Chains A and B, each alone.
Chain A
Amino acid sequence: MGRAVGIIGVGQTHHGRRTEMSYPDLVREAVVRVFDDAGLTPADIDGVVSGTMPSMMEGIALTHFYFADAMQAVGKPILKTETCGSTGVSIAQTAYYWVASGMADCVLAVGHEKMNEGNAQATMTTVVEPFYQRYFIAGAPGVFSMQSQMWADRYGIPEDKIRDAAAYISVTHHDSAFDNPYAHVKLRVSMDDVKNARLITYPVRLLDVCPTSDGACALIFASEEFIRKIGKKAAWVKGVGYRGEEYFFGDSDKGVWQSAVQSAKQAYDQAGITNPRKELDVAEVYNPFTFQEMLFYECFGFCGFGESPDLVLKGIFNRKGELPCDPSGGVLCTNPIGATGLIRVAETVLQVMGKAGDHQIPGAKLALSHAMGGVDQFNGVMIVGSEL
């Protein structure tokens, strides 16, 4: 695993429809907060990792140029990591490797998105090439709906059960968002509200889908030596996993989703985790769609394939359950895409440091964060713990 690496600062914007400020100011809000949280100044930073979604969504290309000043990165070494929706976790992993390799002692990682100034679905349609796939994969919901159907069919999960379980996830996450001061959508919804919401792409309905958010997130990664020197508490990186698969949607099995299975396995192996449901205290799963969240539970080994809807309905994954998932309200309530994966990491850092406030899972010591991207193609996992 190289040198031990810890995360010593978290800064998030208040995510939402931030029409009152410019995109660079939004980035600045997260960066100012991370320095406040870590008690450091930009002079302490050896390098900056920046990342976001494709230029079409930003309205500007190579965004590290535009945000150089807001990220306090002028005169600093810079890396620019982009892996589609999984960008956030890839940024975190880049910062991790920078410190683990010994090439830096203290690295700032910044992810950001001002989605209300762009067109996310139009951009995602251009991720697929113009010759074959673009005609029938318009935006994100189509892909994930097909995947949900494939999974339900594979394991013979009854339509009513899967619908109920997805609605349960929507209700509990929307409730959780009220306890997260940074969450975007705060809405009390009932099971019936979800099941009767406007259909987006069958079986996905409006309340099964994440919002369009403006937001940024910043974390500071540091070496063990640096952390000891400044005497800070840290969340220690225990495992990093990432996998990508074929570009053509039909080429790979999305029901037993290998990129998700193997990225989690790599992280578990590094962290020495053999029974994730028992050993993990909390998970921040990247869940832009309720149905897909259940598939992730299975790919990550929280339960067997086809079993998740029953366990969801038993409350195993809610905030008082055996393995609380997305106590922040998750992506379902907040999705500034380029920041979203990094927010998952940030939330696990807050949890293992005992700083998650009203959505704290008591005694959380080991936590999993995750992000997904591409044409249902990439999965990245990071595990942090309170102990080195």
Chain B
Amino acid sequence: MSKRVAIVSVAQNAGAESADNFYDQAYRVAREALDKAGLTREELGTVVTASSDIFHGGISCANSYYWETTGAFLKNASRQDGESLFAFFYGVMRILSGQYDTALVMALCKGSENPPNDACTLMFADPFYQRPVGLTETTAAALQMRLYMEKYGVTREQCAKVAVKNLDNARRNPYAHRKGDYTVEAVLNSGMLADPLTELEAAPKSEGMVALVLATEEKAKKLTDKPVWFKGYGSSLDAFFLGDRDLLNGQLGNAAARAYKMAGIGDPGKQIDLAEVTEPYAFQELMWYEDLGFCGRGEGGKFLDSGATAANGSLPVNVSGGVLANNPYVSRGLQRIVEATLQIRGEAGQRQVDKQVKTALAHGTHGFAGQCHAVAIIGS
């Protein structure tokens, strides 16, 4: 990259159900991100939002509904569907094109106005074969979990430990929706959702307005003394029919390799100081460790057991509590970037890790058993 792009400010709301209406919630977060950057709406160059109609309270064309609350009135703006890291990357692209020197990237999802997550994810399935058998993100994940445990001897206890770790981390995150001091036993006994997945091993349905301001290097230096730089990005899409896919060898490796190449990362386990990953199901965090190259294939459980990914470990993962603590579906990817940015800037409050975070990874996934993955690398 000849030119550099920086994150200059971030804002998010709390994940618990809010009495605020969609517009107020969205406006406040957009406003906060702009205010922190010291930008007026008029000075702002472009806006890229992320939202999905299926997660938008029964209103179609989500961007139509909220356009002006994001500051996009009479601006050149656009919108990405499904994954908010797409919007992050599109914002970066718009700045690198040289046409804009600032961009507001925002993800909008008000979980409390949506049906249950899986009533929505059922609509990802085709109506002929997969939908009639009840394939959802949860049932697909349960199949994937069973395969993963069978093949690598990962135990249910190791999977449950991810929830224990993340929900405990969430206790130090004021924005987290679900949090608590749970034991492995409590997680395993929290009610069977889709065998072998239990309730506490699956993400909740949360509110999530998340915004950040991007700027060119020149502009960023005027707007903040703590710029966080865009270093790399990669994404990859898998085939549609679940039976056509190897659920234990998905597309995250591909996405990560692209992001690492762009960021010049050869040894992710050493060069990445902290990761925020999207783990809508606890066991997936273990699989993602492997796909991201933090540990060897099948060793995710052992890697967790070693304490490496704890908040005080060598490579903390989901210090925010992750998606198990806070799951505004479309917004969760951008929320990972926001959390990673706060850690790099040393502004993560009670959840700030002890060591210095220079390079951080943010990951997003959506679709059955991780049909699509996106990885972003940011750093000081």
Task: Answer yes or no: are A and B bound together in one complex.
Answer: yes
- Residues of A that sit less than 8 Å from B by CB: 1-3, 48, 51, 53-57, 59-62, 64-69, 73-84, 90, 93-94, 97-98, 100-103, 123-124, 126-127, 129-130, 240-247, 258-259, 262-263, 266, 373-375, 377-378
Is the beta-carbon distance between A245 and B98 smaller than 8 angstroms? no
What is the chain A residue whose CB lies nearest that of B74? Answer: A243
Q: Check B97 for interface membership: any CB of A closer than 8 A.
A: yes
Query: Which of B77, B98, B235, B254 sits near A1, CB closer than 8 Å?
Result: B98
Are B59 and A126 closer than 8 Å at their CB atoms?
A: yes
Q: Are B73 and A246 in contact (CB under 8 A)?
A: yes
Give the residues in chain A near B75, CB-CB below 8 Å.
243-244
B240 contacts the other chain (CB 8 A): yes
In whole angstroms, what is the CA distance A75 to B236 when docked? 5
**CB of B239 within 8 Å of the partner chain:** yes
Interface pairs (28), CB distance under 8 Å: A2-B96, A54-B61, A55-B53, A60-B125, A61-B53, A61-B120, A61-B124, A62-B367, A64-B82, A69-B239, A77-B237, A77-B258, A78-B236, A79-B86, A80-B80, A81-B80, A83-B79, A100-B98, A103-B233, A127-B60, A243-B76, A244-B73, A244-B74, A244-B75, A246-B67, A247-B66, A262-B74, A378-B64
How far is A302 from B67 in the complex, measured between Cα atoms in Å?
28
Contact of A74 among B62, B72, B93, B237 (CB under 8 A): B237
B83 to chain A, nearest CB (A): 7
A98 to B96, CA, bound (A): 9
Bound-complex Cα distance A77 to B125 (A): 21
> Known interface pairs A83-B78, A244-B77. Does A103 touch B96 (Cβ–Cβ under 8 Å)?
yes
Known: A2-B97, A79-B86, A242-B77. 9 other contacts (CB 8 A): A2-B96, A55-B54, A69-B240, A76-B237, A94-B78, A100-B93, A100-B97, A245-B73, A373-B61
Q: Is the CB of B64 within 8 A of A78?
A: no
Task: Report yes or no: A245 in contact with B74, Cβ–Cβ below 8 A.
Answer: yes
Given the known inter-chain contacts A1-B97, A76-B237, please indicate yes or no for A93 contacting B78, CB distance below 8 A. Answer: yes
Q: Once bound together, how far apart are the Cα atoms of A81 and B67, in whole Å? A: 15
Which residue of A60, A62, A77, A259 contacts B366 across the interface (Cβ within 8 Å)?
Answer: A62
Q: Bound complex: CA of A258 vs CA of B73, how far in Å?
A: 10
- Kindly state whether residue B65 has any CB partner on chain A within 8 Å: yes
CB nearest neighbor in A for B69: A247
A65, B367: Cβ atoms closer than 8 Å:
yes
Contact between A68 and B97, CB atoms less than 8 A apart:
no
A74 x B239 contact (CB < 8 A) = yes
Q: Is B52 on the interface with A (CB-CB < 8 A)?
A: yes
Contact of B96 among A101, A130, A258, A263 (CB under 8 A): A101
Flag if A65 contacts B61 (CB, 8 Å): no
- The residue of chain B having its C-beta at the shortest distance from the C-beta of A259 within the complex is B74
Q: Which of A77, A101, A126 contacts B236 (CB 8 A)?
A: A77
> Would you call B99 and A74 a contact (CB within 8 A)?
no
Q: Are B63 and A83 in contact (CB under 8 A)?
A: yes
In-complex Cβ contact of B65 among A98, A103, A129, A259 (8 A): A129
Instruction: Tell me if B218 counts as interface (CB < 8 A to partner A).
Output: no
Please indicate the chain A residues that have their CB under 8 angstroms from the CB of B8 in the complex.
none
User: Which residues of the other chain, B, contact A82 by a CB distance below 8 angstroms?
Assistant: 53, 61, 63, 79-81
User: B19 on the interface (CB 8 Å rule)?
Assistant: no
B123 beta carbon closer than 8 Å to chain A: yes
Specify which chain B residues have a CB less than 8 angstroms from the CB of A74 in the assembled complex.
Answer: 237-239
B90 located at the interface, meaning its Cβ lies under 8 Å from any Cβ of chain A in the complex: yes
| Contact B67–A129 (Cβ < 8 Å) | no
Cβ contact of A374, chosen from B52, B64, B126, B368, cutoff 8 A: B64
Return chain A residues, CB-CB under 8 Å to B73.
Answer: 244-246
**Which of B2, B74, B127 counts the most chain A CB atoms within 10 A?**
B74
Identify A130's interface contact among B58, B99, B244, B368, CB under 8 A: B58
Contact B96 A64 (CB under 8 A): no
Chain A residues whose CB sits within 8 angstroms of the CB of B95 once the complex forms = 101
Query: Once the chains are docked, how many angstroms separate the CA of A374 from the CA of B125?
Result: 26
CA A67 to CA B143, docked complex, whole Å: 23
If the complex has contacts A242-B76, A247-B67, are A102 and B2 also in contact, measured as CB distance less than 8 A? yes
Decide yes or no: A84 and B236 within 8 Å by CB, A60-B126, A78-B372 being known contacts: no
Shortest Cβ distance from residue A24 to the other chain B in the assembled complex, whole angstroms: 8
Q: Is the CB of A81 within 8 A of B98?
A: no
Question: In this assembly, does B68 line the interface, its C-beta being within 8 Å of a C-beta of chain A?
Answer: yes
Chain A nearest CB, measured from B234 CB (Å):
7
A60, B127: Cβ atoms under 8 Å? yes
Q: Once the chains bind, are A244 and B251 in contact (CB under 8 Å)?
A: no
Q: How far is the CB of A123 from chain B (nearest CB, A)?
A: 6
Separation of A58 and B372 alpha carbons in the complex (Å) = 20
